[in-house]
Structure 1
Amino acid sequence: MILKEMTSEDCVDVLARGHIAHLACARDHRPYVVPIQYAFESPSLYGFSMPGQKIDWLRTNPLVCIQVGEIENNEVWRSVVVEGRYEEFPDNEQWHDERLHAWSLLEKRSNWWEPGAMKPSPAGETGKTVAPVFFVIHIEGVTGRQSAAGGN
């Protein structure tokens, strides 16, 4: 297996093809990583979530890292790491167009709201109506590596 750095263009191609990522954030010197669905529109990634730990942490520290991977098999894979900054689109008139734009990008994929809209609730608790959170990750840097079997 050969390992090599990916070009910026190759990284963008992986981001454009993908829709599932791992988002890492940190608060009080503790890391937190969760899967998200995203939509890529250069130079940004758009996402959706219900309020919870991830959103609380992102509001406290907007610096994030996102990893997107493509795995063909154990010897052929690509991994792209994005460094960026979280910005929330509040549910108000001022951010209406941005929320609508994020929604329009995300809804192009089936089940785009999963896992963002799925939040576990304690036993016996009924669902409460809570406004979803739409957000953008402003990409500040992208790197990638890929492997190839037999030096391809």
Structure 2
Amino acid sequence: MANVPDEAEDLLTGEPLVAHLATCRDSRPHAAPIWYVYRKGRFEIATTGEKLENIRQNPAVALSIQKDEDGDPQWGMTVRGTADVVTSESERINRRLNEKYGADDDAWEENTGVRIEVGSVDYWTY
């Protein structure tokens, strides 16, 4: 498991930013915006549909996260890792996501929880 740099860890646990999740199935990439929570060296997301099916078929994923101010990039990160569907944790993961992003407690309750173990990290500032 790769370590996320300390200064990047602080940024990941701060304000709610949107990440882009890249999955792959049948040798075709699929990227979509997603909410995330970073905890204890892992990312937690909750998803459904094509993203979830892709993860079940091929757990290799990537996350791309960037912070900008009025269109001026400040920092960015690409994380490659392995996703694990954790159905039994879905309610807790959804609750943490909804709290971070200011959604109603029961929003997105149909989503399934996923944890992403970090394999490698590229982090940069502008």
Both structures adopt the same fold (TM-score exceeding 0.5): yes
The correspondence for 1:87, drawn from 81, 84, 87, is 84
Moved over 6 A (4+): none
1:68-83 alignment runs, 5 A limit: 68-73=65-70, 76-83=73-80
Q: Percent identity?
A: 22
Pick the structure with greater CA Rg: 1
Partner Cα separation in structure 2 for residue 38 and residue 27 of structure 1? 22
1:47-98 deviations in Å (ceiling 9; x for gaps): 1123x111111111101100111112555420011111111122xxxx2xx3
Q: Larger relative contact order (C-alpha < 8 A, sep ≥ 6)?
A: 1
Partner Cα separation in structure 2 for residue 112 and residue 146 of structure 1? 33
Partner Cα separation in structure 2 for residue 69 and residue 12 of structure 1? 13
1:36-75 alignment runs, 5 A limit: 36-50=34-48, 52-73=49-70
Specify the code of the residue in structure 1 equivalent to 2:30.
Y
Which residue in 2 is equivalent to 1:127?
none
Structure 1 residue runs without a partner (length 5+): 1-6, 118-129, 148-152
Distance 1:75 1:62, change over 3 A: same
Coordinate RMSD, CA, aligned: 2.5
